[in-house]
Structure 1
């Protein structure tokens, strides 16, 4: 029996991890209301309460990318300070930690998938806070791994796929940016990968690389992804047209290129995630966007 403590249990990834609970895997996924990661006392108590084989998977994050530009104190509290306290608590109790991070730690100006040791250079406050969280975790002395991912979607919460599905029913046509490229990642697939990683760590077989990348395979622009969503909905993808990021300016700069290499993930003996197209089809086939989500 392995126990996972998943701070941020109310988010897309947290809920997807909770769905994997089984007789062999206990997933404790407290929401932010149940476990405030900015409360050192609450974090220490939650980690101290763990018994038996256990791994903490930190899915808690301030993910409002645009709001972070002005709400910097809160973003740093959740994305940088909280992971530091969590890592310290894990270190003191001898509990391994998997900290989930983001493609936004990179500058987004590459033309080939980012490796785990590619130079970082976030262009947004959100990216800066997430990088600070990575550094805090890796420098804590805990048995810790950072897993970067990108473009997460699920049937839970707010995300690009759900937005496209809603807009398909509201508009005859819509424009989506075609100059930002990444790897759409179904939260359920990411959750499965993180459980595999946690099991390896609990068995003393954690990957040598302490930084890993985990996304569905392949790459596409938001425009191409939107068209793929329309196809899954049985709608005409030609209703989606391409535009540039400059036509839809946002407070926070988005990476133009967010594709992450899974070379370190594979080298660690972990199963690579399937292509994003297959994952998207599976998500729709599973009813992720029609009956409660996954």
Structure 2
């Protein structure tokens, strides 16, 4: 089983000086790929001097874009994705690979609360995990972890679905669940990152909100649209009962709410069919 380790990196020269030597010592035969996402420091030079294959971008395209470029260029049968900022311990890879050998298609390194980058991020990730667990029926331990091992052939099936931004872990995980590929979680330690985080709470607040909807629509859109439709219908029914009891009439607002319930439900049915076509493998 050949292995390729892919590290997306943007201004991570300091982290690579710690991560790459450890990776090479632990996995001398693995292919190491550093995807330089438009760095302004010496990320590419450090990676090349430490023996990694470097894919450089002339400008920043995003974490997900770096993952896609690395996955396309990798030659290994198994892909290992990890951060270049020193948070992920290369010694954890052996445990992830051992779990993969048990018959899984993806194994994700799951962080505990102490491994989250702040209380707000931890609370948001806990909510994502809960929502994904409800949607899939599986116990999702860490939906947004970027430390994972996957079978290359199966991961490449979903490259066209991956966004260029930071939510590639969410998208790939839900795609594997949707396609009935086996996913496992393994607890991992997480160190404090070197350098500054590229995530900005205000700028990325909308992005995290969109992730919530993406979780639902990637797996089963009707599970999102059906309850929304039912909510509109029940509100319309309650408002109609109120206006009939007080004024003895059926109002335009009730018509609007009932119409919204029907429209939302039909959109859910169409989305369900589109999602099924998206995951069809010819």
Rg larger in 1 or in 2? 2
TM-score normalised by the chain length of structure 2: 0.28
What TM-score does the superposition give when structure 1 sets the normalisation length? 0.27
Q: Which has the bigger relative contact order, CA under 8 A and spacing at least 6? A: 1
Q: Would you tell me which structure has more helix in proportion to its own residues?
A: 2
